[in-house]
Amino acid sequence: MLTDLHKHLLNDFQRDFPLSARPYQDIADALGATEDEVLTALSDSTIQQFISRIGPVIRPNHIGVSTLVAMAVPEAHLQSVANKISAYPEVNHNYEREHRFNLWFVAMASDVGHLSHFIEKVEQETGYKTMQLPLVNDFFIDLGFKLDLRYA
């Protein structure tokens, strides 16, 4: 069950998250709540899988380097390989696609050397080759979703 606090957290702070020493207190102040109530509501939202993470979205290759990576993984090993991929801090997200290259992920690193080393490590630890698809043209897609708070 979503409370009004949950609804406002999910709707109002998808963008322009406060950049301060106590951002959750700033959010609480804006919503007339306590910092503990905000933190509890965000934890609940994570547990209920309404949100998966709270963090910045940084344009590709503005801080460090990144690439899209695709792998062809047999269906029987797909979940275990995906779990390994998800465990790496260099991985932003991964997902399955209906294609011969069925596991895709975004890899990020501080520099080209680190990224190359990481890709080699993935191939060695999973036993599968990767195909790197570096960014050629930058397109921004706003992934925010305006919620109708009456129904959320």
Work out the angle at residue 56's Cα, subtended by the Cα atoms of residues 90 and 53, and round it to the nearest 5 degrees: 75
Domains of the chain, with CATH numbers?
A: 4-47 (no CATH), 65-133 (3.30.70.3460)
Q: Give residues with Cβ within 8 angstroms of 88, minimum separation 6.
A: 107, 118, 122
Identify the pLDDT of residue 143: 64
Identify the pLDDT of residue 142: 64
pLDDT tens profile 5-24: 998 998 888 888 899 999 99
Model pTM greater than 0.85?
no
Residue 152 pLDDT greater than 60, yes or no? no
DSSP states of 24-91 as a string? HHHHHHHHT--HHHHHHHHHHHHHTTS-S-------TTSSSEEEEEEE---HHHHHHHHHHHHHSTTE
Identify the pLDDT of residue 47: 85
Residue 151 pLDDT greater than 60, yes or no? no
